[in-house]
C-alpha cells in the first residue's frame, strides 16, 4: 500500500490513525482466531485467519485487508482489546 494512503487512513470508530500489523502481531491475532477467541464489533466470531490487516492506535480494533482491499466497515472490525466509545456512540448515549 502506498505511503500517502497510510497517512490518511483512520479508524472509522476511534478516528485515530491506522498502521499495518507486523508479522508477530498478525500471527498472535491469527492464533486467537484459531481458538475462537475473537469476534467482530457486530458479535460474529472470526473464523478465517488474516493475511494482512490494519490496527488502530489504541490497538483495540483490527481491520482485515483482503486482496489488497482494506475492509473499514465499523461492524466488521475485529475486537482485540478494550474498545473506546466512538464519537457517534457518545452522541447516541447523550440523547
Q: What is the pLDDT of residue 87?
A: 46
pTM listed for this prediction: 0.82
pLDDT in tens, 16-26: 999 999 999 99
Distant-in-sequence, close-in-space partners of 39: CB < 8 Å, separation ≥ 6: 45, 46, 78, 79
Query: What are the residue boundaries of the structural domains of the chain, listed by start?
Result: 3-94
> Is there a contact between 46 and 64 (Cβ–Cβ < 8 Å)?
no
Q: What percent of the chain has pLDDT over 90?
A: 75
Measure CA 60 to chain center.
Answer: 7
Amino acid at each position: 500500500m502506498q505511503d500517502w494512503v497510510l497517512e490518511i487512513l483512520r479508524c472509522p470508530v476511534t478516528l485515530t490513525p491506522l498502521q499495518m500489523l507486523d508479522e508477530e502481531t498478525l500471527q498472535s491475532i491469527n492464533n486467537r482466531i484459531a481458538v475462537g477467541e475473537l469476534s467482530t464489533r457486530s458479535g460474529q466470531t472470526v473464523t478465517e485467519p488474516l493475511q494482512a490487516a490494519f490496527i488502530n492506535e489504541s490497538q483495540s480494533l483490527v481491520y482485515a485487508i483482503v486482496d489488497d482491499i482494506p475492509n473499514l466497515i465499523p461492524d466488521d472490525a475485529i475486537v482485540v482489546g478494550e474498545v473506546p466509545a466512538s464519537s457517534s456512540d457518545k452522541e447516541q448515549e447523550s440523547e
